[in-house]
Amino acid sequence: MTKPVAHTPAPRPNTDLTSHYRMMLRIRTFEERVGELFVRGQSAGSMLHLSIGEESAAAGVCAAMVEGDTFTTHHRGHGIFLARGADPNRMMAEIGGKEAGYCHGKGGSMHIADMGLGHLGANAIVGGGIPAVVGAGLAARHHGSGKISAAFFGDGATGQGILYESMNMAALWSLPCLFVCINNQYGMGTRIDQATANPEIHERARAFGLVGERVDGLDVEAVSEAADRLVAGVRQGKPAFLMIDCYRFYGHARKDKSPYRDPAEEEQGRQKDPVAFARAALLERGLATEAELTALETEVGAEMDATIDFTIAQKEPPLSTMFRDVYAPEEPEPEPVRTRIDRVLARD
């Protein structure tokens, strides 16, 4: 594991660092197994995007959310869904295109969704999932449910107009919406300071009337504290924007070797490792022993190893289910072209 940067946060009372570390470790290990599934040639499609280096954003923000809250993610959303209670076996099966997956293998890595856990959908379109939280927030306000809706997206989405339309509407109508920008420094191959003159993106949110904050993603406790504070206000109809600075350890997608980054930059960036940083803090504060952490890491490793075995053992969805979940349940499913051709030929 990468050595953390030389900085130790001040001790905090009633810390949740142990649970945060466990969740970040599960996310990191799951993502490593996703990469392994890809190398084995067992993942569906040719693209998947890992969130290694961004675990604090998922663990810290999702810990502030409760049952009934809703959210959307971007194409790098495996860790966020896991932090909201997803079953890693079903997640991996979906990434593997298997019927046992959350979307019966038809969503793959970038389109996982589960309404039961409040996941309104991942989206491969940059910024595409953001406006859905405005609708969810409006519904929550209308019903007086006290729930919030959070949009998770990367810094690349800050170049999309739909983000600003969504923030404006959330502020105008005082909707319980939280906008979470995971700033991993790169939109595909373009560094943020080459894409925007002012990288203080949270300041843009303030101009729309939202509460805007920025936090260092190295420290999951700092992320959690900021999320707790903002979410409390969001539940009262004060929409907010939280930018979390992280570093994307690997390329944009699994096949991207990130030739646009200098090796020295990557080495320095990977020192901002929230998982290693939290582990060191647990040991320094006496919240866990080396033996306890080693046992936890072995346990989590076994849990995530099992996801690959589970996925490989599952079946692919049959062709007859290709329209299932695409049309409303009461609507008759269209006849597949292949079936229609067979029917026409048989009639001749």
Domain membership flag for residue 118: yes
Convert the pLDDT of each residue in 38-47 to its tens digit: 999 999 877 8
- Does a structural domain hold residue 3? no
> What does the alpha-carbon distance between residue 168 and residue 133 come to, in Å, rounded to a whole number?
13
Q: What confidence tier does 319 reach under pLDDT thresholds 50, 70, 90?
A: confident
Task: Tell me if 289 is assigned to some domain.
Answer: yes
Please, which residues have CB within 8 angstroms of residue 305's CB and are 6 or more apart in sequence?
A: 33
Q: How many domains does the chain have?
A: 1
Q: What integer pLDDT is reported at residue 15 of this predicted model?
A: 64
Give the pTM: 0.90
Looking at the domain assignment, is residue 10 inside a domain?
A: no
Residues whose CB is less than 8 angstroms from the CB of residue 252 and which lie 6 or more positions away in sequence, other chains included? 49, 186, 188, 189, 258
Within a domain: residue 6? no
Q: Does residue 12 sit within a domain?
A: no
Report yes or no on 2 lying in a domain.
Answer: no
Q: Is 301 helix (H, G, I), strand (E, B) or coil?
A: helix
Cα 247 → chain centroid: 14
Domain presence at residue 323: yes
Q: What is the pLDDT of residues 164-187, one digit of tens each?
A: 999 999 999 999 999 999 999 898
Its domain, for residue 158, covers: 17-347
CATH number at residue 56: 3.40.50.970
- Give residue 42's Cα distance to chain centre: 22
